[in-house]
């Protein structure tokens, strides 16, 4: 069974740097992490484009939108009523610290994940994405593709996000950038490998699959 370090090294050797998250600013990452919930990236990206047209993605401008206006702008992402509320809740929470992400991280320290999860609409995966890509905390993000990969590698308890998250410990040497790349590599590998038309291009990991 491959350990985390070996898996990271193999993926990076064959796939290279992934240059994630696909955004220009951290606010855009925050919005993308919320809008992509339960949909594909194309729909989320369209919602971000429309939001940029109306607000330039300025947090204050987004918060000044009425609930109905924000819902209409992000409608392409689906679940737009709940996502609009989550966007406003997250931005309001961050605004208390003037969007100083280092200050937020220092203030909450080990309780940061818990406080993120206390925001309605922020689940385990979104909280971990924000930890890695916004607050630069090196944590493991076992999204659906990652859980499928780890199952094929022989790991147990891969059906449940939290059970696999608690089972996998990232090496102490991992930086936030390493956690960023690891998530991106796993996610992009999964998107391609579990697409039957692309699978043959990614056979380098099959030698380690036991399921």
Co-location of 62 and 155 in the same domain: no
Co-location of 200 and 157 in the same domain: yes
Query: Rounded to an integer, what distance in angstroms lies between the CA atom of residue 94 and that of residue 146?
Result: 29
Co-location of 66 and 145 in the same domain: no
Q: How confident is the model over 126-143, as pLDDT tens digits? A: 999 999 999 999 999 999
Co-location of 68 and 85 in the same domain: yes
Length of the chain: 211
Backbone angles phi, psi at 78, to 5 degrees: 75, 160
Q: To the nearest whole number, what is the mean pLDDT of the chain?
A: 96
Co-location of 127 and 158 in the same domain: no
Co-location of 143 and 71 in the same domain: no
- What is the count of structural domains for the chain? 2
SS3 of 101-158: HHHHHHHHHHHHHHHHHCCCCCCHHHHHHHHHHCCCCCCCCCCHHHHHHHHHCCCCCC
- Asked if residue 110 lies in contact with residue 144, where contact means CB atoms within 8 angstroms, the answer is no
CATH number for the domain including 122?
1.10.340.30
Co-location of 115 and 150 in the same domain: no
Co-location of 31 and 127 in the same domain: yes
Query: Rounded to an integer, what distance in angstroms lies between the CA atom of residue 114 and that of residue 132?
Result: 15
Q: How confident is the model over 49-80, as pLDDT tens digits? A: 999 999 999 999 999 999 999 999 999 999 99
Distance of CA 29 to the CA centre of its chain: 9
- Asked if residue 101 lies in contact with residue 59, where contact means CB atoms within 8 angstroms, the answer is no
Co-location of 12 and 100 in the same domain: no
Residues spanned by the domain of 15:
4-19+139-208
Contacts 24+ apart (CB under 8 A), 148-153: 148/190, 148/194, 149/186, 149/189, 149/190, 149/193, 149/205, 151/211, 152/209, 152/210, 152/211, 153/1, 153/2, 153/7, 153/208, 153/209, 153/210, 153/211
Co-location of 61 and 124 in the same domain: yes
Q: Which of 106, 133, 160 is the last residue in one of the domains?
A: 133
Co-location of 102 and 195 in the same domain: no
What pLDDT band is residue 165 in, cutting at 50, 70 and 90?
very high
**Cβ atoms within 10 Å of 65's Cβ, excluding its own:** 18
Co-location of 53 and 128 in the same domain: yes
- Asked if residue 95 lies in contact with residue 123, where contact means CB atoms within 8 angstroms, the answer is no
Percent of the chain with pLDDT over 90: 93
pLDDT score of 111 more than 80: yes
Q: How confident is the model over 196-208, as pLDDT tens digits? A: 776 677 889 999 9
């Amino acid at each position: 069974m491959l350990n985390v370090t070996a898996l990271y090294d193999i993926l990076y050797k064959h796939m290279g740097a992934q240059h994630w998250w696909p955004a220009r600013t951290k606010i855009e990452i925050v919005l993308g992490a919320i809008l992509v919930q339960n949909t594909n990236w194309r729909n989320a990206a369209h919602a971000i484009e429309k939001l940029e047209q109306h607000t330039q993605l300025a947090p204050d401008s987004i918060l000044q939108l009425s609930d109905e206006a924000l819902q209409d702008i992000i409608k392409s992402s689906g679940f737009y009523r709940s996502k609009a509320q989550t966007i406003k809740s997250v931005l309001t929470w961050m605004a208390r610290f003037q969007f100083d992400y280092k200050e937020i991280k220092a203030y909450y320290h080990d309780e940061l994940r818990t406080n993120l999860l206390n925001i309605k609409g922020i689940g385990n995966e979104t909280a971990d994405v924000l930890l890695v890509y916004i607050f630069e905390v090196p944590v493991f993000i076992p999204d659906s593709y990652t859980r499928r990969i780890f199952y094929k590698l022989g790991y147990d308890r891969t059906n449940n996000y939290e059970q696999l998250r608690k089972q996998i410990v990232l090496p102490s040497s991992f930086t936030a950038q390493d956690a960023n790349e690891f998530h991106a590599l796993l996610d992009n590998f999964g998107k391609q490998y579990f697409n039957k038309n692309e699978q043959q291009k990614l056979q380098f990991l099959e030698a380690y699959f036991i399921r």
